[in-house]
Structure 1
C-alpha cells in the first residue's frame, strides 16, 4: 500500500542524500508445510494442557524446521550484494537484512525513496518508498516482502499531565515517592498495593537466566539522571543492564516511562533496552526472535488498515511464532484511541472501528488500559475510555479465546455496538489490562522533572514486569519460562481482577462495554500476582 497523503499522518519531504544509507528486511519464502509445522509446534509448547508445554526449540532447531533452501538464500543475498548492499542473513535463514545507499536501493527495487516527517512530531524522520516496489521476476518468486518500504508507524506519545498535582484527595493515598510525585499519581508502591507483587528487590528472588526488555524506536532515549531521580524519590533500584542499539543523553518520555516502571515492578530481573532507529517492527521482531530475552514490552502499533499489506502482518506473525517457539513472551500496548484507532470513527463518531496491529495479532499478548473507579483510591478499576480494544478485521478468533469471546457476545450486559462497525469473528483484544488512564496519571521522572503520564504505554511494561516475576518463580523451580502467554491467560482468566465498569469509545459514539469475565475493553482484567503465581507454578506441574 503506497503512501497516501490524504490519509497518512506522514508528509513527504526531500530525497535522501547520495551517501544516505537505508536498512531493510527482506523476507524469504518459507514453504507452506514448514510454516504449518512451525505454527503447530508453537501452539503445542504454548498450551499448558499439552504434553509438549514448555519444550521449546533453539535457533538452530527453528532454522531446521523452516528449512529455507540454501539456493534461495544465496540467490537473494547475492542479488542485493551485487546491487551494492551489505547483506546479513538471520539465524533462521528466513530473512535478510540489507544495508545500502538509498539511491542504490531505488535501483534494486525499482522505486523512489524519500524522507517523510510526521505532522505531529516534525523532528521524527523516516525513509520510505513513495510508490510500489518491484523486484526482477527470478528474485521476486523467492521473496515474500521487503519490509518497511511502504509501512508507516503510528506515532502516539503517551498523554502527559503538565505538572505534579498536590490538590486535596482522599486520605490513605501514599505514593511512596515523597513529595516528588504529589498526591494523585500512580507509583510503584500504588501498583504493588493494587496488583499484589513484591516491588522491592529485597522481596524478590533473582533467577538465573531470567531476562526482560523494552523496545524503543528512533528518538526515544533515556537520561541516567532521570532514572537516578526516580530511584532517589521512590526508593526503587531501576537500572538498565544492557543496551542494544544507541542511546543519546536526551529524555524521551516513552522510553523513561517504560524503563522506570518495568524495572520498578521487577528489579530482580535484568533489563535490556533495545533501540531500533528505523521504526521497523519487522526488524525488531526478527532481532528479538534470535535473542534469548524472555519477556518483551512494546508500545508500538498502527491501525490494521494502515499496515503495508496482509503479507507484511503475516511476516510479523511468523516472527512472533518463532519467538514463542523459543519460550519468549511478547506484550504490546493495545493503543490509546479506543475502538476508533488512529483513523478515527468519522466526523460524527459513528464510523467503522479500526483495530490495531500488532495488538490484533493472535500470536502476541495485548495489554489494555484501566482507571481507578474512584480517583486516588486503590481499589476497583474501570475500563479507560481511550484504551485500545476490539476485533481484528484480518485474523480469525484463535481457539484459546473462542469460549471467552462467545461468552461476551452472548452476554446481554455487553450492549454490543452496531454490528456493521466491527467484525465479530476476528481475533479479539486486549487479553489483559492494567492502570493506564487519565484519572490517576503515572509519576515519571523525565527531562529533569517529575510529571504525569498516561496510556497503555504504561500498562504494558507493568504487566510485562509481573510476568517476568512469574518467570522467575518458574525458573527457580527448574521449570521453563512461560513463553507465549495467551493460552495460560485464558485458561486462568478468573485469576485476574475482573473489571466490570466502563467502555472504550474514545472520541466515538460507540465502544465495547466491560462486563463480568473477558471483554474487548479490559480483557480478562488486571493482574492479581498471588493468584497468578499459584497458577503459573501449577501449570507446569500438571
Structure 2
C-alpha cells in the first residue's frame, strides 16, 4: 500500500470564522424547528430488552404534540414564513423565509462570516433565537439560522515521512476475534457524513482486492440538501468508514447519509437515520464531532433528543472520540471531550496503537503520537452530561470545576495512523488512522453480534460495563495528555479494545438469563 503525502486539512469550526458584517442577501433560508416530545422521555432500549416502541408506532407515543405544531403554524404564518414540511414522529417542522422574515420572527441578526483567510463565506448567527412565551416551551431548538460548520472528521492520514505498519480491516477484526460465522447478514449499518463523497468503483475494487466476493449494497441518502461530492479531503473519511464496515460486515447493507456540516444537517442526519422506516438501520456510525463547549445549548439539546430517539428505537450509535488528545483541539490548555461521543446515548470510541505478531496482538497501548504530529486519542470527562449510573463504579475522575461527568470513551480500537488501516480513496491506496476508524470498527462488530443474537443490541452501555474485563483487552500503558491509562476503565481507551467472540458469548448469556462473566470496569 502506498502512503499519501497529503495531510488532513484544518477543519475550522464556527468560532474560528471571521465576521464580515450583517448578512446582505435575500435568498430564502430553510430552518428546522425541533419540537418537544409528548409524554415522558422514552427509555433507552438497553440490552437485552427490546425497544418499547416500533418505528411506525413511535410518533404516537414519543413524537410531537399536534397542538404544538398548530401553534407553530400560526406563528409562522404571522411572520410570512412558509411551511415546507412537518414530521410529527421526528418532532420537526421545516420553515422557509427570507433573511429579513427570519430575523424578525426569531429576534436575531444574521451575519456574513468567512472561514479562514481565503475560505468560503457563509451565514452565521451569534444570537439565541427568541420565541413568544406561549410557544417557546414547545421548541427545543431552531436550526439552520447558523450555517457555519459544527464538526470535524476524526481521521488521520499517515504522513509520507512516517514509518509504520498497516493492516486491512479484516486483519484487525481477526486480532480482535470478531465472531466466526457472522458477517452482519440481515443488518443495516448507517454511516453519517458531513462532507466528502463515496466512489462505488473504489469500494468494489477494494473489496475484490481483499478477496471479498460478497460486496455489500451501499445506499447513498441525501439529507437536508447534502450530497455525495467526491474530490475533496473528506473523501478519506467517507471511504474509510464504508470500507471498514463493508469488509468487516460484508453481509450487512450500508446506508450513507450525506448532510451539510451544520447543526441543522447533523441533527437531521441522526434523526432521519434513526427513524428510517425503509432501511431500518440497527447501528449508526458517526466519525464527526466537535469540542463539547463549541456547541450552543439548544443545538446540544436537539442533538441529544435525536440520539435519545435512536437508542429508544433500539439503534446503537457509535462515535469517534476525537484525534487531538485530551484537549480535543481546543487552545485554552484545558481538557475537553468531543460531542456527540460525549453523549450518554452514544458508544464513545477511543484509539490505541496496535502491533501484531502473526494473527495475534503483540502489544496495545494508548494512541498518542502528538510528538510527531500524528495525533492522539480523545478522552476525558464531560462538562455537559452527568455521570451515568452504568459508569458509577468506573472511577471516572472529577471533571472541570469538580463536575461529576460522563467519562469518555467507553471502548477503543486500533486508531494510530502509524499502525493504521489500508484503504482506497479516490483511486489511490492509502494508510489512514484516527478514531474515525474505531467507530465503524465497533459498528461492524455490533452488526455481527446483532445477527447472531437475533435482535439489536440497542443501548449497549449497561451490558458492556457489566461484562467488563471478560470481553476487553485492558489497555494499561500510555496517556492522551491529561489522562493516563490504567487497570479497568480509563479516560484514554475506556474499557479497552474488544474480544469479539467473548463479547458475543457474554451478550448471549445475558439474553438467556444464564448469567455472564463479569470483570472490573
Does residue 427 of the first structure (1) align with residue 427 of the second (2)?
A: no
Q: Distance in 2 between matches of 1:420 and 1:400?
A: 17
8 Å CA contact 1:148–1:282 kept in 2: the answer is: no
Q: Distance in 1 between matches of 2:91 and 2:156?
A: 38
8 Å CA contact 1:352–1:420 kept in 2: the answer is: no
Name the SS of the counterpart of 2:341 in structure 1: coil
> What is residue 497 of structure 2 aligned with on the other side?
526
225-234 or 495-504, larger mean C-alpha shift? 225-234
- Residue from 325, 328, 336 that aligns with 1:338: 325
Post-superposition offset of 1:278: 4.8
Does residue 474 of the first structure (1) align with residue 445 of the second (2)?
A: no
* TM-score for both structures, normalised by structure 2: 0.83
Q: Distance in 1 between matches of 2:22 and 2:288?
A: 26
- The 1:499/1:488 distance shift into structure 2, 3 A limit, reads same
Give unmatched runs, 5+ long, in structure 2.
1-11, 369-375, 514-521
Post-superposition offset of 1:473: 0.8
Does residue 490 of the first structure (1) align with residue 465 of the second (2)?
A: yes
Q: Distance in 2 between matches of 1:121 and 1:457?
A: 28
- Residue from 290, 294, 305 that aligns with 2:282: 294
Q: Distance in 2 between matches of 1:154 and 1:332?
A: 12
> What is residue 358 of structure 1 aligned with on the other side?
340
1:84-95 alignment runs, 5 A limit:
84-92=81-89, 94-95=91-92
> What is residue 77 of structure 1 aligned with on the other side?
73
1:5-404 alignment runs, 5 A limit:
8-12=15-19, 18=25, 20-30=27-37, 34-36=39-41, 38=42, 41-42=43-44, 45-48=45-48, 53-66=49-62, 68-80=64-76, 83-92=80-89, 94-119=91-116, 122=119, 127-150=123-146, 152-156=149-153, 158-163=155-160, 184-197=165-178, 204=182, 207-208=185-186, 210-217=187-194, 219-236=195-212, 237-245=214-222, 246-250=227-231, 252-279=235-262, 280-291=265-276, 292-309=280-297, 311-344=298-331, 346=332, 351-372=333-354, 378-385=361-368, 386-403=376-393
Q: Distance in 2 between matches of 1:214 and 1:7?
A: 23
Q: Distance in 1 between matches of 2:354 and 2:318?
A: 22
> What is residue 538 of structure 1 aligned with on the other side?
509
Could you report, residue by residue, the CA deviation over 1:228-268 in whole angstroms, capped at 9, with x for unpaired residues? 33223322355443111132343511111111111111111
- The 1:161/1:490 distance shift into structure 2, 3 A limit, reads same
Post-superposition offset of 1:138: 3.6
8 Å CA contact 2:168–2:422 kept in 1: the answer is: yes
326-335 or 14-23, larger mean C-alpha shift? 14-23
> Cα RMSD between the aligned structures?
3.0
Give unmatched runs, 5+ long, in structure 1.
170-183, 410-418, 506-510
Post-superposition offset of 1:420: 7.6
Post-superposition offset of 1:121: 9.4
- The 1:127/1:256 distance shift into structure 2, 3 A limit, reads farther
- The 1:369/1:71 distance shift into structure 2, 3 A limit, reads same
> What is residue 177 of structure 1 aligned with on the other side?
none
* TM-score for both structures, normalised by structure 1: 0.80
Could you report, residue by residue, the CA deviation over 1:109-133 in whole angstroms, capped at 9, with x for unpaired residues? 232334545339935x654324333
- The 1:16/1:220 distance shift into structure 2, 3 A limit, reads farther
8 Å CA contact 2:154–2:435 kept in 1: the answer is: no
Post-superposition offset of 1:141: 3.9
Could you report, residue by residue, the CA deviation over 1:382-433 in whole angstroms, capped at 9, with x for unpaired residues? 1112111111112111001111x22x65xxxxxxxxx685646101110001
Q: Distance in 1 between matches of 2:485 and 2:13?
A: 35
Q: Distance in 1 between matches of 2:199 and 2:47?
A: 40
How many residues are treated as equivalent by the alignment?
A: 479
Q: Distance in 1 between matches of 2:118 and 2:288?
A: 15
